[in-house]
Amino acid sequence: MLFTAHEITETVDMFLRYKLDIRAITLGVSLLDCGAASGTETRRRIREKLLRLAGPLAGVGREIETEYGIPIINKRLSVTPIALVAAASEDTDYTPYALLLDDVAGELGVDFVGGFSALVQKGFAGGDTRLIDSIPQALAATNRVCASVNAASTKSGINMDAVRRMGEVIKETAEKTADQDGLGCAKLVVFCNAPEDNPFMAGAFHGPGEGESCLNVGVSGPGVIRAALEAGRGASFDELAEIIKKTAFKITRMGELVGREAARRLGTPFGILDLSLAPTPEVGDSVARILEEMGLETAGTHGTTAALALLTDMVKKGGVMASARVGGFSGAFIPVSEDEGMAEAVRRGAIGLDKLEAMTSVCSVGLDMIALPGDTSAAAVAGIIADEMAIGMVNGKTTAVRVIPVPGKKAGDWAEFGGLLGRAPIMPVNPAGSEAFIRRGGRIPAPIHSFRN
């Protein structure tokens, strides 16, 4: 017998009771061969290539869901950063590229497309500046397009000119989508050490070091981990670590099965499997509740960072035991609006920006889906970005900022984003200014331990 009755029941429970799913299958496509002097010709080539390579993506996802009974929540595309692709064209406004990507994604039945992106950790090229300037209008005019900017890295330091500009861009994007509580900012992320093979939005792009195409998979299962910990109440931390690791191993094996099968059917290489505990607003699908299951009265109290460090590390260890293709972020996300437990902790005053910043030193990404007062200045947003970039740079890890200054709302109000993006209480921001600091510009140098050869 291949599987015992217990193993079969356990797997069924993972899907039906504990909300295990494939959060995304993401087809990455290189557009480096699509650039032309004419923007019209560049966009024609992009459209033709995406329709040719990604045409079967949504159908393959549905087939696998039906055959294997495994939920696949999103089918997504990631493309070469558009700042690189469009740089040779005469275009000064890159919004038409976003409109094209949005249109193609709709035609293909794809939920999101990532790659309206620029890599500026060490400086700006012409295409980078034009893309960044186009972000507010591009995100306001599209539904499926996601944007990202890598503003720092451990090797290059922090581009503070990019940090300052992104503070302004986030404010402009919020204002252009004010009727949706600044929803455009939910599709925009600023990175340090951005991975080139990430299947999760809003930060997915097909890095210039990637091949012609590949299929990346993002797996999520906070409910499964929490259920496993419930069965181990009273256990020591050594025992908790083993429980998390073994559960992550099982989840990863399932994700690799789906990823390899989807890649085979699409005729493209299997890239990476990102095992990240990515929560949703649904009860029972929360990373915060996992931390509370470890013994915390509420997420955010003393001990939270230690609990999150244990969780993130054991998820990674379980993943790499199960697959040689673990990549992307892999670990635990701590978005506020997308995690009902995190949102509740913020509402109760147990978590503030300072505590979230501390938690990002050990989680898999950073400050994620945080609603700020609408009158938060661009300099304050840039200061938040700079702090998070510093954590990533010094620790040699990926960090990111996805914050939403909600027009017309103040601390204590609620922002409503809908769907997987959820809802969140508006968090207060330190009232002391950082304008003079942000105005300095230039680059914060890379840390001494970056010099390795």
pLDDT in tens, 184-241: 999 999 999 999 998 888 899 999 999 999 999 988 878 888 888 887 778 899 999 9
Helices and strands: H and E segment counts in the chain = 15, 14
In the 8-state DSSP scheme, what is residue 80?
Answer: S
Residue 439 dihedral angles phi and psi, to the nearest 5°: -65, -20
Q: Which of 63-67, 277-281, 357-361 has the lowest mean pLDDT?
A: 277-281
Are 267 and 131 members of one domain? no
Domain assignment present for residue 451? The answer is no
Domain assignment present for residue 384? The answer is yes
pTM beyond cutoff 0.85: yes
Domain assignment present for residue 252? The answer is yes
Domain assignment present for residue 427? The answer is yes
Domain assignment present for residue 10? The answer is no
Query: What is the average pLDDT across 99-112?
Result: 96
- Bond preceding residue 202 cis, omega within 30 of 0: yes
Beta carbons of 118 and 132 less than 8 angstroms apart = yes
Nearest CA among 165, 187, 192, 205 for reference residue 80: 205
How many Å apart are CA 95 and CA 110, to the nearest integer?
Answer: 19
Are 180 and 329 members of one domain? no
* The pLDDT of residue 451: 82
**Domain end call among 176, 192, 208:** 192
* The pLDDT of residue 8: 45
Domain assignment present for residue 17? The answer is no
Query: What is the average pLDDT across 66-75?
Result: 85
How many Å apart are CA 123 and CA 135, to the nearest integer?
Answer: 18
* The pLDDT of residue 18: 53
How many Å apart are CA 158 and CA 392, to the nearest integer?
Answer: 10
- Could you tell me where the DSSP H helices lie in 267-352? 287-293, 304-322, 340-347
How many Å apart are CA 267 and CA 270, to the nearest integer?
Answer: 9
If you average pLDDT over every residue of the chain, what do you get? 91
pLDDT at residue 72 tops 90: no
Are 224 and 365 members of one domain? yes
Read off the CATH number of the domain in which 82 is found: 3.20.70.20
State which residues form the domain around 111.
Answer: 28-192
Look at residue 142 and give its three-state secondary structure: coil
Are 164 and 300 members of one domain? no
Residue 156 dihedral angles phi and psi, to the nearest 5°: -110, -20
pLDDT at residue 323 tops 90: no
Beta carbons of 386 and 158 less than 8 angstroms apart = yes
Are 57 and 169 members of one domain? yes
Query: What is the average pLDDT across 104-124?
Result: 96
Are 222 and 175 members of one domain? no
Are 86 and 221 members of one domain? no
pLDDT grade for 5, boundaries at 50, 70 and 90 = low
The most confident of the ranges 103-117, 282-296, 309-323 is 103-117
pLDDT grade for 264, boundaries at 50, 70 and 90 = very high
Are 279 and 415 members of one domain? yes
Query: How many structural domains compose the chain?
Result: 2
Query: What is the average pLDDT across 288-313?
Result: 94
Type of residue found at 74: N
End-to-end CA distance of the chain: 52
* The pLDDT of residue 253: 84
Are 186 and 223 members of one domain? no
Are 223 and 173 members of one domain? no
> pLDDT above 70 covers what percent of the chain?
95
Domain assignment present for residue 41? The answer is yes
Query: What is the average pLDDT across 342-349?
Result: 92
Are 292 and 221 members of one domain? yes
Residue 417 dihedral angles phi and psi, to the nearest 5°: -110, -25
Angle at 41 between CA 36 and CA 44, to 5 degrees: 125
pLDDT at residue 4 tops 80: no
Domain assignment present for residue 311? The answer is yes
